[in-house]
Amino acid sequence: MRILALQFVILLSVLTQGSQVVADTITDPDVLMEKANQAFADESYFEAIALYEEILHTNLESFALYYNLGNAWFKAGHNGKAILFWERALRLNPRDEATRHNLELARSRITDRIEPLPRLFFLEWYDSLIRWQSPDGWAWILVGMVTAMVISVVLFFVFRYSWQKKLGFTLALVFLLLALFSGHASRRQYVTIHSQKEAIVMLPRHTARSAPGERGIDVFVVHEGTKVSILNQVRDWYEVRLANGNIGWMQETALEII
């Protein structure tokens, strides 16, 4: 009898450990990503979305995760969600052409046709240059420029001829200016991403008000997928601005922050 009891205890211990291993495997982000990718390949888009979002619940984020979520939502027919996650992906990798192409495709399906306010060409060029890299990307460029500057300074003292010293000094100055700009661009991108709030409209149709509350006058109507800038918040209402400069108040439930 004691032998049977001992065998039962051992068996129970093995089963408990086995179930724990399975649980750990299911919550492993790499395993979840693999399962989600397979579900996407099998055209089980909502299953893929559920698995991708499980990874998000572990407080992990990556360009690939946001990109894949955007693809899955788009295939599932939810344009607003697709735009939301592709926007998030683009913030982590601003130069990815596939994400930009997908965003353009999704935006072409938005009901609203909002013309942005005209800007001076050099301001538009400057902002495009800043958005060329993520904050981390600019930081790595900064490290490269500082390294090149130090090498140029060393060469300045090593060179013997006058024209060589002038070349070393000139290169050091150029790399210094590029390093300063890279540092500025990295900080600017970081501040833009973390302080400038933008959101995507999630409802098929929503009316913005002149004031926070249902008593406000209707000012404009927006549809799913439209991007807005958030200016202020009062309780569960956001003050938002469209690309054309129109300002109104929208309910929090109508938006999702990028």
- Report pLDDT digits (tens) over 67-93: 999 999 999 999 999 999 999 999 989
- Whether 50 and 67 have beta carbons less than 8 Å apart is answered as no
> How far is CA 242 from each of CA 99, 193, 227, rounded to the nearest angstrom?
22, 18, 7
Instruction: List the chain residues with pLDDT less than 50.
Output: 1-25
> Residues with Cβ < 8 Å from 242, sequence gap 6 or more?
114, 220, 222, 226, 228, 229
- Find, among 94, 101, 155, the residue nearest to 128 by Cα: 94
Backbone angles phi, psi at 223, to 5 degrees: -125, 170
Q: Cα(24)–Cα(58) distance, rounded to whole angstroms? A: 13
The whole model's pTM is what?
0.72
For 26-76, the pLDDT digits (tens) are 678 888 999 999 999 999 999 999 999 999 988 888 999 999 999 999 999
User: Residue type at 198?
Assistant: E
**Sequence-separated contacts (24+) of 226-229 with Cβ below 8 Å:** 226/110, 226/112, 226/114, 226/200, 226/201, 227/83, 227/87, 227/198, 227/199, 227/200, 227/201, 227/258, 228/198, 228/199, 228/200, 228/201, 228/255, 229/196, 229/197, 229/198
User: Residue type at 130?
Assistant: I
- pLDDT score, position 26: 60
Q: Cα(30)–Cα(16) distance, rounded to whole angstroms? A: 23
Q: Across-strand partners of 234? A: 237
